Structure 1
Amino acid sequence: MVKKYFPGANTGRGFQGRFRGIVPPWEAPHYTYILKGGPGVGKNTLMKKVSCLARANGLETEEFRCASDPESLDAVRIPQRGIVLLDGTAPHTLDPTVPGIEAEIVNLGHFLHREAFARRRGELMLLFEENRAHYRAAYACLEAAGALRRAAVEDAANSADLPMIRAFLREGFPLSAPGAQRTLFLCSPTPAGVIDFRETLGVENTVFLPGILGAVFLREAVLLARGTKAEVFLDFLTPDLPQYLYLPDSGTMLCAVDDAHSTLNEFLLSPLSDFIPPALHEADVLTAHAVEELRLCKRTHDAIEALYRPFVDYDRVDRETEALLEKLAL
């Protein structure tokens, strides 16, 4: 099974990247190949080929999917080889800090007939602006949804017996060894809907914490897990709060899941606010609107790629690709 993650997500605070979480902090540094080039030049094709070759050779693979197109990759990691291939273009522009030691750039942005391509500038600019407009609308919806969810979590926390919750967590879930936390997303709104990759991790010991109180439990669990080896997966609406927490030493994952029939009411000091159910409902409606806007973003992005493709020097891209694959020896 290929483990899948989102290294960045469309969130209630705009696009949020957690690309530093691609390599867990408790593992040795990896060498990163940063892929550069415009839309449609073959970055995704190259990463998918590397992932496929690695798996064919029995190597573990982690795929980091693009929140703007979950069929595309933002990165791929081959842990046994200590390598990462990464799309280093906007909105997550990256460059090597120490070129040749920790990373290098692989340039796939080779173009033909640049004079003819320049004549498409006006058409491209209109598509780019349309794309940005749909993203603005999507993020406006997600920001409003995030504000509602954050307020709901705060209301629930005000009604909860936090000392009792902390005691329950300490007794029931032993923390991992001291270390640093790995932070990523497993869930994001995308043009294909809200996608969740939790099941690709293959975790057998999963504890579900239902309802809005589940989010309070997760918040407290992550605070308790500070300074220990853990994997924190953020909630896309409220990226300052967790959605999942994985404790690798015990192989346990804690999951906050939406459920109207919470079984955690014994941890309440007072009844939950009447504000919470309509707030969560409106957050769901706004998230659905954001997904529709993201679908329109994908449509304009596809049109942009279609304009680029006739002018890409794919022969040169293929030579660069083959040279890299030979270097990786997969």
Structure 2
Amino acid sequence: MKGNIRNFFPGGNTSLGFYSFYDYIISQDTATRKICIKGGPGTGKSSLMKKIGTFFNDKGYDVEYHHCSSDNNSLDGVVIKGLDVAILDGTSPHVVDPQNPGAVDEILNMGQHWNEDGFKKYREDIIKTNKQIKGRFQRAYKFIGASKLIHDDWSNYNKTALDRSKLAVLQEDLKNKILSNYEIASIGAERHLFATAFTPNGIVTFIDSLYESSEKVYVLNGGPGTGKTQILKFILEEAIKRGFFVEVYHDPLIPERIEHIIIPNLKTALVTSNEINQKKFIGTQIFMDNLLDYALVDKDEVQKDKDIFYKLLNEGLTVIASAKKLHDDLEKYYIENMNFEEIDEAYDKLVNRLLKYEKEHEINKTI
């Protein structure tokens, strides 16, 4: 019987540039092994991680796939739950290096499987393409950053119309519904990742599969500045104070802002249907517009903000897509010079090593 699969983005293309939550993929304190893969594009990093994930998922292990926001069909990491093993792409822009070499971390160098001489004729092309890719992302971040400035203006219109007394009442009501049976006790824990990302294929979100095991789902519907973030932060803090572990999913536009939270032990999720994901969720619907006095909002100005915001954001997404095309060109230089038979051998050796960890886990369970 196969295990469960969950999908995330550990990093994102945001208004602040590339923003990483890589440290939350797996803890150094709990990891059996953390393998950092080094190598250029097209060297087989993502394919190897997918194969490892499929192998252990078929054996019944729950697996986490951590996707690349710059190519959502590619992986930045895979985690095998139960074995507490993570394999991560350790290359730019999310550089990962061993923190506890030998004890926890190690490097798997895909460069040892390439033909170095074969790169000589592509040297200038590789350097040029890498510069172009870097320039595209810098341009994309400028568009996304500009969209955030307009988003702030849109948000401010709603904030001026927000009835904060009603917001406080709603917060307390949700706290009582979710946490009333639990006293403030030991401090819990939290894990931060992205469920939604700006990708070459547009705005992609995995939230549907992440909250599907939740039995209680509260849906906060509303645009920016309507109080959704305040509610999520409030419930997060109250849950942590009661000793719960909380999954925190961040906004791809403003990475400090929370988009969703899930409290697994309570089988409870608070998700937002917002101006970015534009999702419709099944659950208890909470319409944040009911907290606004629209007599205080200039609807024409808000509509202008909306139009400009989406135009700038879509320009940023278009540039990210163009960077992906350049990245595909770069991969060709590496694929041509890779010894994939050696990579297959490296995969077999890695699987055998991980199976040893499986045996060690089984032995530890019997002790």
**TM-score of the superposition, structure 2-length normalised?**
0.82
Match of 1:19 in 2: 22
| Separation of aligned partners in 2, 1:166 and 1:76 | 40
TM-aligned CA deviation for residue 256 of structure 1: 2.1
CA contact 1:127–1:300 (8 Å) conserved in 2: yes
Match of 2:133 in 1: 131
Question: What number of residue pairs does the alignment pair up?
Answer: 328
The structure, 1 or 2, with the larger RCO (C-alpha pairs under 8 Å, 6+ apart) is 1
Structure 2: unaligned runs, 5 residues or longer: 279-285, 359-367
Structure 1: unaligned runs, 5 residues or longer: none
Equivalent residue in structure 1 for 2:45, among 43, 46, 61: 43
| Separation of aligned partners in 2, 1:314 and 1:213 | 48
TM-aligned CA deviation for residue 42 of structure 1: 0.9
CA RMSD in angstroms comes to 2.5
TM-aligned CA deviation for residue 59 of structure 1: 1.0
TM-aligned CA deviation for residue 116 of structure 1: 3.9
CA contact 1:150–1:238 (8 Å) conserved in 2: no
Local SS of the residue matching 1:249: helix
Match of 1:310 in 2: 336
Which range is displaced more, 113-122 or 56-65? Answer: 113-122
Match of 1:248 in 2: 264
Local SS of the residue matching 1:311: coil
Mark the CA change 1:206 to 1:281 in structure 2 (over 3 Å): closer, same or farther: farther
Local SS of the residue matching 1:246: strand
Mark the CA change 1:150 to 1:115 in structure 2 (over 3 Å): closer, same or farther: same
Mark the CA change 1:109 to 1:212 in structure 2 (over 3 Å): closer, same or farther: same
Match of 1:282 in 2: 308
AA aligned opposite 1:298? K
Match of 1:53 in 2: 55
Mark the CA change 1:180 to 1:155 in structure 2 (over 3 Å): closer, same or farther: farther
Which range is displaced more, 3-12 or 207-216? Answer: 207-216
TM-aligned CA deviation for residue 184 of structure 1: 0.6
Mark the CA change 1:21 to 1:65 in structure 2 (over 3 Å): closer, same or farther: same
Equivalent residue in structure 1 for 2:88, among 86, 89, 92: 86
1:190-205 to structure 2, matched below 5 A, reads 190-201=199-210, 202=212, 203-205=214-216
Local SS of the residue matching 1:189: strand
TM-aligned CA deviation for residue 207 of structure 1: 1.8
| Separation of aligned partners in 2, 1:237 and 1:119 | 40
TM-aligned CA deviation for residue 236 of structure 1: 0.8
Equivalent residue in structure 1 for 2:287, among 263, 269, 275: 263
CA contact 1:2–1:63 (8 Å) conserved in 2: yes
| Separation of aligned partners in 1, 2:21 and 2:298 | 33
TM-aligned CA deviation for residue 310 of structure 1: 1.9
Mark the CA change 1:235 to 1:225 in structure 2 (over 3 Å): closer, same or farther: same
Local SS of the residue matching 2:345: helix
Larger Rg over CA atoms = 2
- Aligned-residue identity in percent: 25
1:138-183 per-residue CA deviation (whole Å, 9 max, x = no partner) reads 1111111122223333442343233432332232243587312211
Match of 2:110 in 1: 108
Match of 2:248 in 1: 232
| Separation of aligned partners in 1, 2:189 and 2:165 | 25
**TM-score of the superposition, structure 1-length normalised?**
0.90
TM-aligned CA deviation for residue 20 of structure 1: 1.7
TM-aligned CA deviation for residue 306 of structure 1: 0.1
TM-aligned CA deviation for residue 213 of structure 1: 5.7
Match of 2:13 in 1: 10
AA aligned opposite 2:90? G
Mark the CA change 1:153 to 1:128 in structure 2 (over 3 Å): closer, same or farther: same
Matched, 1:219 2:261: no
AA aligned opposite 2:269? M
Mark the CA change 1:144 to 1:70 in structure 2 (over 3 Å): closer, same or farther: same
AA aligned opposite 1:236? P
Mark the CA change 1:222 to 1:37 in structure 2 (over 3 Å): closer, same or farther: same
| Separation of aligned partners in 2, 1:250 and 1:167 | 22
| Separation of aligned partners in 1, 2:209 and 2:151 | 26
Matched, 1:66 2:68: yes
Matched, 1:327 2:327: no
Mark the CA change 1:256 to 1:271 in structure 2 (over 3 Å): closer, same or farther: farther
Matched, 1:207 2:218: yes
